Amino acid sequence: MAEKIESIRNELNDSTVSNQEELEKFRLRYIGRKNVIADLFGEMKSVAPEERKGFGQKVNELKQLAQTKFQEHITNLEPTDDSQDKSVDLTLPSASDSFGSIHPLTATKQRFIEIFERIGFNVSSGPEIEDDWHNFTALNFPENHPAREMQDTFFIEKDPDVALRTHTSSVQVRVMEQQEPPIRTLSPGRVFRNEAISARAHCIFHQMEGLYVDKGVSFADLKQTLYHFAREMYSKNTEVRFRPSYFPFTEPSAEIDISCQICHGEGCNICKHTGWVEIGGSGMVDPNVLKNCGIDPEVYSGFAFGMGIERITMLKHQITDLRLFTENDIRFLKQFSTL
C-alpha cells in the first residue's frame, strides 16, 4: 500500500501538462469522481487498524498534492502577462462595423441631379461603347477633326468606327433622336480618352451633360441656369463667367468659368493666379445638330453644356490630385462619409 502511495506521489511530482487535453486527463486521473486517490480511500478497510490513521493522513496529503499540482498546471497553461499584452488589449474600444461611404464623385453627381431635378430636368443615359455617328458625326464634327484621331480616342473597331465615347455629348444625340421637345435632360457618365494619368488628367473620367431644347430657348436661359447651378453647388456668392470658345456642336459656344473656390480671387496655383477656374463647355445647340437628330431648327432651339464631375468635386473639396479618386485609399474616401 505504501508503495502505491509513493508511486502516485512520484507521478504527481513528475507530471507535466502542455495543453487543455492533457490537463483534462490529469483531472480525470487525480481529481475527478473516480480518481486513483479516491480508490486508495476505498482500500482503507484492508489496512491494519493501527496503521489506518497514518494511511489516511498520507492519502489526504496525496489529495492535497493533486490539487496543488492541478492549480499549477492551470496557471502554466495560461498565457503569460507579456503575451497577453500583445494579443488582447482589453482597454481598446471594440472594433466597430464599417458601412463604407458614398464616393465623392457619386456625391457630386447626386447633388448635381438634385439641383437640376428641381428645375424640371430628368436623367438619361447612353452606351459607353459608341458609334461614330453618335459620338462625332451627328454632333457636327468635320471629317478630319483632330478629336477623331487615334491619340485621343480609344477605337474598338475601324470602318465602321466603334469607340469608347470621348464625351457624354453622344447622349444628347440619342435623346433628341428619340424624344420630341420640350427636352430637359442631364446625362451623367464615364468617358474615355487616350491620355497619360497625372494629377490633372486620367484616361477615364466623368462628365455631366445637360440639354434643354424647346421653343424660344436663348443664351439668357443658358446663363441663368448655370448661375443657379453654381450658386447651389458652391455658395451664393460664387461668380460665373462665360468665355467665347468653339465646339463643333454649339453656336455660339462658351467655356464656363467660376470664381476660384480655393483662393476666392486672391490668386493660387489651382486658378493659375487668375481667380477663375474652368468647369466645362456650353453653348446653343448648333442648328445642324438639331437637324441631324430630326428636330426642326426653325421651330426649336436649345442650349447644352458638359462639365467634368472630377473638376467640380475637386473645387468643392479642395482636392488637388485627380488620382485620389481612383486609388481607393480608405483614409481619403472616409472623409466624405457624411455627404
Beta carbon of residue 191, minimum distance to ligand DAH (angstroms, whole number) = 7
Beta strands at 122-123 and 183-192: parallel, antiparallel or unpaired? parallel
Site for ligand DAH in 251-310 (CB under 6 A): 281-283, 304-306
- Closest distance of CB 282 from ligand DAH, Å: 5
| Residues 124-153 contacting ligand DAH, CB under 6 A | none
Please state the closest distance from residue 168 (CB atom) to ligand DAH, in A: 7
Q: Output DSSP code: residue 255.
A: E
The label of the residue with cell 433622336 reads 177
Nearer Cβ to ligand DAH (107/304): 304
> By CB neighbour count within 10 A (0-12 exposed, 13-18 middle, 19+ buried), where does 34 fall?
exposed
Q: Is 169 in the site for ligand DAH (CB under 6 A)?
A: yes
Q: Residues 84-113: x/- map of binding to ligand DAH (CB under 6 A)? A: ------------------------------
Query: Min. distance of Cβ 193 from ligand DAH in angstroms?
Result: 9
At 123, the amino acid letter reads V
**Closer by beta carbon to ligand DAH, 62 or else 222:** 222
Q: Give the helix ranges, DSSP H, for the chain.
A: 2-14, 20-30, 36-42, 52-77, 81-87, 104-117, 132-135, 169-178, 219-233, 287-292, 309-317, 324-327, 330-333
- Cα 71 from Cα 30, distance rounded (Å): 12
For the CB of residue 281, give the shortest distance to ligand DAH in the complex, in Å. Answer: 3
Q: Which residue has the cell 462639365?
A: 307
Can you state the angle between helices 309-317 and 104-117, rounded to 10 degrees?
A: 100
Decide if residue 167 touches ligand DAH (CB under 6 A): yes
Alpha-carbon distance of 22 to 240, in angstroms, equals 80
Residue type, 89: D
Smaller CB distance to ligand DAH: residue 229 or 305?
Answer: 305
Distance CA 267, CA 274 (A): 6
Closer to ligand DAH by Cβ: residue 247 or 325: 247
Of residues 171 and 260, the one with the C-beta less far from ligand DAH: 171
Q: Which of residues 224-253 bind ligand DAH (CB under 6 A)?
A: 247, 250
Of 101 and 122, nearer to ligand DAH (C-beta) is: 122
Q: How far is the CB of 267 from ligand DAH (least distance, A)?
A: 26
Q: Is 184 in the site for ligand DAH (CB under 6 A)?
A: no
312 near 78, Cβ under 8 Å? no
Residue with smaller CB distance to ligand DAH, 112 or 247: 247
- In the block, residue with C-alpha cell 485609399: 329
Q: Which of 126, 306 has the CB closer to ligand DAH? A: 306
* Least CB distance to ligand DAH at residue 266 (A): 29
CA 312 – CA 278 distance, rounded (Å): 9
- 26 or 249: CB nearest ligand DAH: 249
Q: Which spans in 103-193 are helix H?
A: 104-117, 132-135, 169-178
Query: What are the phi and psi torsion angles at 46 (to 5°)?
Result: -85, 0
Total residues binding ligand DAH (CB under 6 A) = 11
Residues 6+ apart with CB under 8 A from 183: 175, 176, 211, 212, 213, 214, 302
Q: How far is the CB of 328 from ligand DAH (least distance, A)?
A: 26
- What is the contact surface with ligand DAH in residues (CB under 6 A)? 167, 169, 209, 247, 250, 281-283, 304-306
